Structure 1
Amino acid sequence: MHKKAKAKEEASQMFLKIANAYEILKDEEQRNDYDYMLDNPDEYYAHYYRYYRTRVAPKVDVRLVIAVTITVISVVQYYGAWSNYNSALNYLCKDQKYRIRATEIAKSEGLISASRKRKGKSKEEIKEEEEATIRKIIEEKMDIRGGYSKPKATDVLWVQLVLLPYHIVLYIAWWLRWVWRFNIKREEYGEEEKLHIIRKFMGLSQAQFDAQEEHEIEEYLERELWIKQNFTEWKQQKEEEMKSKLAESARYKMYRRYMKKGGAGQISFGPD
């Protein structure tokens, strides 16, 4: 019985060795690692790394992980942009100023009848149609810019990555043209170039700059803010105006009195 048990144990160990050898030989990467170990027996740490990399590391292509991650980000980004756009549109539809203007346009174009009586339609259905018409007019007429603008396919991360080489080439060409025209030939700036310099001085993105009102853009051009000195003076003036407004604010006065008395860290030695 003892010999049989010993033979059975040896057979079991032999089976494990054969199975392990089969696992190594059937996988090309493990087979190469094994050959490398035989050729370089002194590289202990490298052998450990290769072994655990094969055994523990997930069998997933890194490129697939990156692609899935970018796809998820793109989907979230796209639907988030649509959510912002719809929020802005809903706000405009509820604002009386825009509703009245949209209603006037709809009536002038015959999209909404002055009389609410329509054959075969209830008051609720007529109201829903009018709301849809007003929303459509506001969507078409209103220029929603900035972070709440209507999403475009080119805003999605996947598309931006695909178009990245193209945009890099465009930027290099634009930069070379800028240097040639304005640094070498000393041409005068056009309106587009002036606004570009002003935007850079302000540290705004293109979307943030486009979200500003037309009268603000006109003021920038009138004040010639593309000139550094003019921009610095204008910025100081705006900061002074902001300080004056804050000084006139009742809440800000209360805050200053509070801080003058010691603020949140005030220590009193008087009786409670």
Structure 2
Amino acid sequence: GGGGGGGGGGGGSGGGGLVEGIYCGSVSCYELLGVERTATRAEIARAYRRLARRDHPDRSGSSGGSERFVTLATAYETLRDAAVRAAYDATLDGPAGRPLRHLYDYDYANTNTYTYNYTYTYNYYYTYTYNYARSLLLLRRAPVDARAVLAGAVIVVSVIQYMSWWARYQRAICHLATVPRFRLRAEDIARREGLLGVPPRGGARGGARGGGRSRHEEQEEIIRGVIRSHVDIQGGYRKPRVTDVLLVRLLLLPYSLLRFSAFHLRWLWLFTVLGRELGPTERLHLTRHSLRLSVEEFRSMSDEQRERLVQLALWEKRNMEEFRRQQQEEERVRLAQDSRWKRFRRSQRSDGAGRMTFSDD
């Protein structure tokens, strides 16, 4: 093979030591594309496009044009990927970063030189084969788009969110169907609307047991349907909305930020700068904020409860402290009148705070 070019700064890496069938064969990939080893990715791409147009089999018409075109494509695939190019450059540099030399130019008269060259030859071809196998793995690795992974994760989380919320809402409906107050009301509405009292589908006597079970299931479904349409469940068990899932909230994030900014700018201008009197909507907002309740928790209250809290003007510190004190006093009175709390206090006085008792009372 020719002289040692791998360590030089030029495009030529010399044919010495390069192996046919691996990378670009006995010719350096840089030489094939006519670029320096310091060439950028854009320069490599321009050189490949220029040579590919010239040596394309449909345009060259020569018998060797197809093989040369494939070799050019191999050189481009090797040098365009940063990781594969680094492995190829390490191969050209030889083991331990030493430049490529004439591997078979031994000095048989000097045993030390012969041993050194033999070891160097073995290390070089071992490194060459290892880097080539590593390059194949890098070229065949599946490209991963982080945006696609993130979008898939958001979609999966959103589906799980909606399904869990719907299951929780269905459990709440089934529970309300067992509460006598809601069940009797739902049965009364269903009878007025003609949904109950329909004879079985299978005739008067046919399939008594199976028909009875089927009719019972139909009645239960009718009652649950009436409850769904007439009972407004709030809080954590309310009917799920698509706008609450993560995917839709992210899509609506710019709009939400715009509304948030507009609300606070309006508040700052009207009530801080101009000093206008608070309206009903603003009083409700301040009351909810003072109680540290979420929107759903505040909506779950009755209109009378919300109006009573607004009348207390809890956004003022003095009123809020008085409200907290009254709440604590009411809780103390309630516990004092609770029979279970009385039994617990008696057990604490008689048995001590740290003892466990198994008495019935």
After TM superposition, give the deviation of residue 218 of structure 1 in Å. 2.7
Q: Is the 8 A contact 2:158 2:246 kept in 1?
A: yes
After TM superposition, give the deviation of residue 87 of structure 1 in Å. 0.8
Q: Is the 8 A contact 2:235 2:297 kept in 1?
A: yes
Instruction: Find the structure with the greater CA-based Rg.
Output: 2
For residues 126 and 256 of structure 1, what CA distance do their matches in structure 2 show? 52
Please name the residue that 1:169 is paired with: 258
Indicate the SS of the match to 1:186: coil
Given the superposition, is the C-alpha separation of residues 63 and 194 from structure 1 closer, same or farther in structure 2, using an over 3 Å criterion? same
1:203 aligns with 2:292: yes
Given the superposition, is the C-alpha separation of residues 108 and 265 from structure 1 closer, same or farther in structure 2, using an over 3 Å criterion? closer
Please name the residue that 2:193 is paired with: 109
| Residue deviations 1:98-157 (CA, integer Å, cap 9, x gap) | 1101111122222223xx645645444433332222211110110111111111110110
Choose the corresponding residue for 2:170, options 77, 86, 90. Answer: 86
1:135 aligns with 2:224: yes
- Tell me, which stretches of 5 or more residues in structure 1 are unaligned? 1-12, 38-50, 267-272
Could you say which structure has the greater relative contact order, defined with CA pairs below 8 angstroms and 6 or more residues apart? 1
For residues 35 and 169 of structure 1, what CA distance do their matches in structure 2 show? 52
Q: Is the 8 A contact 1:74 1:158 kept in 2?
A: yes
Q: Give the AA of the match of 1:30.
A: A
Q: Is the 8 A contact 2:78 2:88 kept in 1?
A: no
Question: Which consecutive segments of 4 or more residues in structure 1 shift more than 6 A?
Answer: 20-24, 34-37, 257-262
| Residue deviations 1:204-236 (CA, integer Å, cap 9, x gap) | 111121122333213212333343322221122
Q: Is the 8 A contact 2:270 2:276 kept in 1?
A: yes
After TM superposition, give the deviation of residue 36 of structure 1 in Å. 10
Please name the residue that 1:29 is paired with: 82
Choose the corresponding residue for 1:75, options 137, 159, 183. Answer: 159
TM-score (norm 2): 0.56
Decide which moves more: 235-244 or 71-80: 235-244
Please name the residue that 2:275 is paired with: 186
For residues 256 and 211 of structure 1, what CA distance do their matches in structure 2 show? 34
For residues 17 and 254 of structure 1, what CA distance do their matches in structure 2 show? 90
1:7-46 matches, within 5 Å, as 15=19, 18-19=22-23, 25-30=78-83
Q: How many residue pairs get matched?
A: 237
Q: Give the AA of the match of 2:83.
A: Q
Indicate the SS of the match to 1:143: coil
Q: Is the 8 A contact 2:23 2:78 kept in 1?
A: no
Given the superposition, is the C-alpha separation of residues 17 and 27 from structure 1 closer, same or farther in structure 2, using an over 3 Å criterion? farther
Q: Is the 8 A contact 2:242 2:248 kept in 1?
A: yes
Q: Is the 8 A contact 1:195 1:226 kept in 2?
A: no
Q: Give the AA of the match of 2:184.
A: I
RMSD of equivalent CA atoms: 3.6
For residues 20 and 317 of structure 2, what CA distance do their matches in structure 1 show? 78
Q: Percent identity?
A: 33
| Residue deviations 1:183-223 (CA, integer Å, cap 9, x gap) | 12222222221111111111111112112233321321233
- Tell me, which stretches of 5 or more residues in structure 2 are unaligned? 1-16, 30-73, 91-133, 204-210, 357-361
TM-score (norm 1): 0.72
